Every structure is written in C-alpha cells, then in structure tokens.
Structure 1
Amino acid sequence: MGGTLRVAVLGAPGVGKTAIIRQFLYGDFPERHRPTAARRLYRPAVLLNGAVYDLSISDGGPGPAPAPAAASASAAATAPATSAASSGSASASASASSAAASAATSAASSAGDGGLQELPDLKDWSLQDMDAFVLVYDICSPDSFDYVKMLRQQIAETRPAGAPEAPIIVVGNKRDQQRQRFSPRRALAVLVKKSWKCGYMECSAKYNWHVVLLFKELLSSVLARGCKHSHPAIRLQGALHPNRCSLM
C-alpha cells in the first residue's frame, strides 16, 4: 500500500478521464483526444486543510497497469479538485438491469470504432482494494452514463466481503456543452444520490471548472469515513513543502 490513498478514475472511452486528471495535476487540456491504451498511474501529493497526503490516481484503461507515471512536484502544484460523496450498493431495479443489458450490447458492438468498449473486468484490474472511485460520463452521451451505471454495479459486486465501502462519485464531464446534454442535471443527480447512494457532480475538464473541487470533495469523503485515523492508505507528510503539492 505504501502509505498511499488509491483512487480509480473510470469511464467509457472519450469521456475525458485523462483530461480531468491532467487538469488537476498540470493545469492543461489536450485539444486532441488520444485514447488511453493502458492503465496509467499518477502519484501526486496534495495539501488539504494543512495536511499533505499521497495519492495514487489510476487512469482506467483496458490493459494492465504499467510503472507509475510520476507527476513532477512542480507540475502537481498547479492542480485543482472537486465533488464527492458516499459509495453505494448496486441498484436492483428491473429497469436498471434492462438498461445495463442494452448498454452492454451497444458497447460490445461499437468497440474498435471509437464507440463504447466492453465493460472491463475489475477483478483483473486489482481495483477491489481501491480507496475511492471517480466514475466519469459525458453529459451529452446517454451510452456513457449507462456504462457508468454498469461500472458502479460491478464495483459493488467485486468488493471483498467485509471490506469497507469505498466512496464513489459520479462525474458528468463536458459541462461546457450544456446545450447538448441528454438529460437535465437535477434528474441525474437525484438518481445517483438517492438510488445509487453515490456522490454526484458535473465539471468541465476543458475549462478547468469544478475539477479541483472534485478531488477535494473525494478526499474529504474518504477522511470522513474514518480513514484518517484507521486506514494506513493515508499518511501525513509534514516534511513536504506546500509549494510542491497540489493545493486544495
């Protein structure tokens, strides 16, 4: 575990997972989309309420995790953070099951042409031990929301018996394309918070809107679950200088 809080950022291809992470760590936005071919790890240190914490941020991809992509101290200093909340158990409604099944069919048929890919097997990704999850979807793509729905269910199903629930926040990215959204924000927020028992927020990776708040709320949610005192995944590093960390 190495004294690190492990966060997985998951979602369908093209929803902006890497863009959100890069805005948080480096304050930049890649104008051209480059598919993430394999899972990448970023290891920044963040400063929250005067305390410094190590993070291991996993950028979800279909392949195994390679050696960590170290975020430089100076680069990490430019980052932001955003919304969080509680984790939840899988929804048992029949409508959710049928929607998930249709989305899975659509995902499988569109793999390889820039569409949604088949749902990854989280057991093979060693994600059962993650301390928190960020599930990203595109507010203009209902398919990407269905993909997140299936991810949330799989996370709940693969969580080891007796393990504490990990906070999950569902993030609607591309808020700058508000006019093209497929559903009102309020309706989605109510569904995620009340039925899924997860946190919900929206952001724009392109314009760095609510990105810092996302990670700030996520970390605060983990700490609120008692991890600060009982979970070895979080470590205070008083020797680190604030200018070498992401400030939140």
Structure 2
Amino acid sequence: MGKKAKQELPLHKVIMVGSGGVGKSALTLQFMYGDFVEEYDPTKADSYRKKITLDDHECQIDILDTAGQEEYAAIRDNYYRSGEGFLCVFSLCEHESFMHTQEFRDQISRVLDDDKIPFILVGNKADLVQLRKVSVEEAKARAAEWQCPYMETSAKTRHNVEQVYSSLLRMIRERKLGAKHRERKGKKGKCLLL
C-alpha cells in the first residue's frame, strides 16, 4: 500500500485581504484553532494549513493571512498570484475599511486578470452591533456589483466563521472541477491519424 495509500489531498489556497485591524487574523485563528485572539501582532503575513472535511471529502486548506499593509507591491502581487480564492474582510465598525475593499478588489483583478476568481466580501465584527458603521444594504450592493457573495462574521462569537471558509472552498473546488471538465472535453474530440 506504500505511496499510493498516502494520496495527495486536494489543496485549496485562500488569501485573506483587507485593511489592518479588521480581524483577518482573528477570523483565521478562530477557524484554525477555535480561539478568539484579542491582541495580535499585525506586522507580518502568516500561513496556516489545516486538513478539513468539506461535504464528506477531505481536503487541505492553506490560508495566507496578509498583514494588510504590504509596502511592496511585488510581494503583494506574488501573494495574490498564489491564491485560488479570496476573503476580502472589512470591519462593520469602520467605514474606511469598507471603502478600502475596492482597492483590494482592483489589485487582485489587475494581478490575476480574472473576474471569476472565487471571492467573498466579508463584514467582520458583527457582534459589535452598537458600533456598526456599514449597513447590510451598502455591503450587499457592493457584493452585487462585484457579483460575489457577501457574508457577515464575528471572530469573537464564531458567527459564520466556518461558513465563510466552507463557502469559499466550495467555490474554489467548483472552479477546479469546471477547469478539469473543460480540459477533458477539449481532449476528447481529437483523433490522431497515423
């Protein structure tokens, strides 16, 4: 049973983008370890990998949690190129972070030249209702414009944390299956005359 038994699990690469302080790391750590981390050192990008079961199939998720203030465009662009799906996070309590999501979306579209890349707009800190500055309507309108889903999360209460990652992973998986299907279809119709 040697090497074949340890078959490679599908690996899906998720990139967290958004302004500093919106809770990208808190969401990631909540998803990875089930912990809410109040204080987190935001100086560097971190990478996490976890084996999960998605719709009865095992796969691995690789999450790149960007620091949100990548000074070097080349580094940032490399991060984006490595991604198969993006969670674009803003804080529901900070309208400026919502405005910045447009920059992230534009940068990703420019680097990948692909408007169909799996992408979810995420309003985090849904537990802080009294501090809310971005309305559901405003966020949904932006998501509709971008033709992507919108979800609200709370890293603190775990509200929608699993769901937002699972939804993105399903989008990535569907896209990969679609690409494989198109590839197979393309190969089928060719015959070779000798």
Q: Under a length normalisation based on structure 1, what TM-score does the superposition of the two structures give?
A: 0.63
Identical amino acids, percent of aligned pairs: 29
Q: What is the root-mean-square deviation in Å for CA atoms of aligned residues? A: 2.3
AA partner of residue 172 (structure 2): V
Partner of 1:223: 173
Q: Match of 1:19, as an amino acid?
A: A
- CA shift, 1:229, in A, is 6.8
Greater share of helix residues, 1 or 2? 2
Change in 2 beyond 3 A, CA 1:197/1:207: same
Matched, 1:179 2:130: yes
Compare relative contact order (CA 8 Å, sep 6+) and give the higher one, 1 or 2: 1
1:190 corresponds to: 141
Pair 1:16 & 2:45 matched: no
Matched residue of 1:124: which SS?
A: helix
Partners in 2 of 1:118 and 1:220 — Cα distance? 28
Q: Distance in 2 between matches of 1:220 and 1:171?
A: 16
String of CA shifts for 1:92-132, please: whole Å, max 9, x gaps. Answer: xxxxxxxxxxxxxxxxxxxxxxxxx57762x4231223100
- The structure that has the greater radius of gyration is 2
TM-score normalized by the length of structure 2: 0.79
8 Å contact from structure 1 (residues 134, 170) kept in 2: yes
- For residues 192 and 119 of structure 1, what CA distance do their matches in structure 2 show? 27
Give the number of the structure whose residues are more often strand, by fraction: 2
Unaligned runs of 5+ in 1: 63-116, 232-248
C-alpha separation between the residues in 2 aligned to 1:51 and 1:228? 17
Aligned length: 171
Q: Which runs of 5+ in 2 are unaligned?
A: 1-8, 182-194
The 1:13/1:120 distance shift into structure 2, 3 A limit, reads: farther
CA distance in 1, matches of 2:153, 2:10: 29
Residue from 24, 35, 54 that aligns with 2:60 = 54
Superposed, which structure 2 residues align to 1:1-248 within 5 Å? 4-31=11-38, 33-61=39-67, 117=69, 121=73, 123-125=74-76, 126=78, 127-160=80-113, 165-193=116-144, 195-227=145-177, 230=180
Question: 2:25 touches 2:40 (CA, 8 Å); kept in 1?
Answer: no
From the superposition, tell whether residues 118 and 7 of structure 1 become closer, same or farther in structure 2 (CA, over 3 Å): closer
Q: SS where residue 56 of structure 1 aligns?
A: strand
